[in-house]
Homo-oligomer: A and B are copies of this chain.
């Protein structure tokens, strides 16, 4: 991805990235043709190659750029002091917000992983793991302090991530619920879900009546 900053062509490059984002989001990487992409940008197919080196490279560039931004933003969002509950709430808020605002990047970065060449795939998956790790660490700290109670922090983290990420598949900014409302709802559902069992009663709603093997 050669990006000649300041030059006139930078505008075209950016337009290609934007159009690529849109079309890949809409139709998928495989289903998007460079013909479509060029048409969307308003240039000839061959001209694309003044800005990208390969269709595959465009995909990688889009995903990589997104992941970089995501990790950076997460760092900033979690650079607060507070107990695990506070951090978890910050995480939920950040994750949901980011996944709503950058809906398309987020979707592509996940659903087109398999379209990446092995090398690129590995690189992105590694970044994704770093992201997940941040949440897992919060859960682990919460368990240590007795604020959360989960049988497996990794599994819990995966569950939370799936739940939150799902937001970007149905949330509409113009819909019934505001973004903050959704964050509120999910924060409660997530944090309550990790609550330790009540000491007094000895059981809670989540425990199965009979034991399983």
Contact = CB atoms under 8 A, between A and B. Distances in A.
Interface of A: 26-28, 30-31, 85, 89, 111, 114-115, 147, 150-152, 155-156, 158-167, 169-170, 177-178, 180-198, 201, 203-210, 212-213
Given A28-B30, A156-B185, A204-B206, 14 more contacts: A26-B114, A27-B114, A150-B185, A152-B185, A155-B186, A156-B189, A159-B166, A162-B169, A163-B166, A180-B212, A184-B212, A195-B207, A197-B208, A201-B210
Given A30-B30, A166-B158, A195 B206 contact: yes
Q: Is the interface of A mostly helix, strand, loop or mixed?
A: helix
Contacts of A197: 208
A198 to B, nearest CB: 4
A205 B213 contact: no
Given A158-B166, A180-B212, A195 B205 contact: yes
A137 B23 CA distance: 36
A89 to B, nearest CB: 7
B158 A208 contact: no
Contacts of A26: 114
A207 B213 contact: no
Contact of A162 (B162, B183, B184): B162
Contact of A205 (B30, B147, B182): B147
Contacts of A206: 187-193, 195, 204
Contacts of A166: 158-159, 161-163, 165
Nearest to A31: B30
Contacts of A167: 158, 162
A85 B186 CA distance: 20
